[in-house]
Amino acid sequence: MLSFQADASRHRISIYCDAEGMATLLGALARLVGERASHVHLRSSGNGGHELSNGPNENGPYATEVVIDYAEGD
């Protein structure tokens, strides 16, 4: 399980994960290491992917896509 949820004020993002979800997130971050500038998409099955789930319960809304952008400074 790996899911991201913004609170109503959008000032906080909660990440819910189990061991498999943590491995997915760490793998996505590891793919960016050493890149000068890149990004990775994590998507739910309803959005054409398989990385994200709906969270530990159905009290959403949960993100159906998370984009992690990486860019090194000059």
Would you write out the chain's pLDDT as a tens digit for each of its 74 residues?
Answer: 999 998 887 788 999 999 999 999 999 999 888 777 789 999 999 889 999 987 666 666 889 999 999 887 75
Where helices occur in 15-63 by DSSP H, the ranges are: 19-32
Token pair of 42 as six digits: 């994590």
Residue type, 48: G
CA dihedral (8, 11, 57, 39) positive or negative: positive
Determine the pLDDT at residue 42. Answer: 95
The Cβ-side half-sphere exposure at 23, using a 13 Å CA radius, reads: 4
- In order of 1, 28, 36, the CA distances from 72 in angstroms are 30, 17, 6
